[in-house]
Amino acid sequence: MLEIDGVSKRFGSTVALDGMSLTVRPGELYGFVGANGAGKTTTMRIALGVLAADAGEVRLDGRPLDAASRRRIGYMPEERGLYPRMAVGTQLRYLAELRGRSAADARAAADRWTERLGIADRRGDEVQRLSLGNQQRVQLAAALVADPDVLVLDEPFSGLDPLAVDVMSEVLRERRDAGAPVVFSSHQLELVERLCDRVGIVRAGRAVAEGTVEELRDASAPELLVVAPHAPPGWADALPGVAGTRAAHEGTVVTLADPSDATLTAVLDAARRTGPVLEFRRLRPPLAEIYRDTVASTGTPAPPEAPGAAA
Ligand SMILES: Nc1ncnc2c1ncn2[C@@H]1O[C@H](COP(=O)(O)OP(=O)(O)OP(=O)(O)O)[C@@H](O)[C@H]1O
């Protein structure tokens, strides 16, 4: 289990992290989402020891991380940390050996992962000669080559073609199924919704919501779609238990302040009084909508990034 507990970090006058906390459990695929500058990369760098926290703690299996336990984490940095002029195979073997694997093990792992990720025919090529998407596959291989117990990946899906997205998704699921905690950041919320067991939403350096997509959905204001073609504008605005309405999906979306049976009945009765009701159902907002609502309801917009804040 990987725990980020109350971690804070400033860069000069910029508060990058302000008490960030999240937990990634064994055998869990965790999606880390938030606006540009919300603090995802900083959190991951601190977890990996690339940066030091000002306050708070990162624990692996209940113990504060140290140099030895950090070696159990496979990391894919956002800035991608490969040597551009080193051949793919040589580089992967080197990284595995650096993490304590024997030369034979390192070679076997480099061969296995390049095969698995569809870049076996590029083993002899310098990394800089590969397309960006293929460099990303090498970067994933680099995170996996020493057989880590935990995976921390910063935007692993950005810029990948659909087939590469499938390969990446499959590999992350396999690691999850093998019992590893796997956390990745992404702005591709459909993908996060499809792939992740739990999601953490961050805003301005702190986690503002965490749970399965279903839990996050339950925590947001429930909405009904009512399609009643003869209903006049504002027909549901004043009903008891209704927080607001808007026109959408060729009908009316009714946001409920109180999702009780009494409210549902009142809304349905009011709709039926206007004429035929073609549709009446609970809406299941996608993660993108839940994300927007969560971020909007957790404070004023984040201040713009301080230009040139000192590191
Ligand atoms: N080395 C640094 N020096 C100064 N400020 C920094 C540094 N690294 C990050 N920051 C600031 O910390 C804040 C958090 O940045 P971070 O990169 O963690 O966000 P992010 O959520 O990963 O964003 P993105 O989605 O754009 O990758 C931002 O305001 C950023 O400008």
For 175-197, the pLDDT digits (tens) are 999 999 999 999 999 999 999 99
* Same-domain status, 212 and 242: no
Q: Number of structural domains, the chain? A: 2
* Same-domain status, 190 and 52: yes
* Same-domain status, 143 and 266: no
Euclidean distance between CA atoms 51 and 215, whole angstroms: 32
Q: What is the pLDDT of residue 79?
A: 73
* Same-domain status, 175 and 228: no
Q: Which atom of ligand 1 is nearest to the CA of 9?
A: 12
Per-residue CA distances from 120 to 113, 173, 202 (Å): 8, 21, 37
Euclidean distance between CA atoms 194 and 174, whole angstroms: 15
Residue after which a domain boundary falls, among 158, 185, 216? 216
Q: What is the pLDDT of residues 61-95, one digit of tens each?
A: 999 998 888 888 999 887 777 888 999 999 999 99
In degrees and rounded to multiples of 5, residue 306 shows phi and psi of -70, 120
Band the pLDDT of 308: cuts 50, 70, 90: very low
Q: Are 148 and 101 in contact (CB under 8 A)?
A: no
CATH number for the domain harbouring residue 192: 3.40.50.300
Range of the domain at 104: 2-216
Candidate from 34-43, 44-53, 73-82, 126-135 with smallest mean pLDDT: 73-82
| E strands, 61-110, in order | 63-64, 73-76
Q: What is the pLDDT of residue 309?
A: 43
Whether residue 235 lies inside any domain: the answer is: yes
Residues with CB under 6 A from ligand 1: 11, 14, 16, 34, 36-42, 78, 305, 309, 311
Interface ipTM above 0.85: yes
* Same-domain status, 6 and 149: yes
* Same-domain status, 71 and 150: yes
Q: Which of 8, 9, 11, 291 to mutate to test the pocket of ligand 1 (most atoms within 8 A of CB)?
A: 11
Mean of per-residue pLDDT scores for the chain: 91
Residue nearest ligand 1's atom 26 by CA: 36
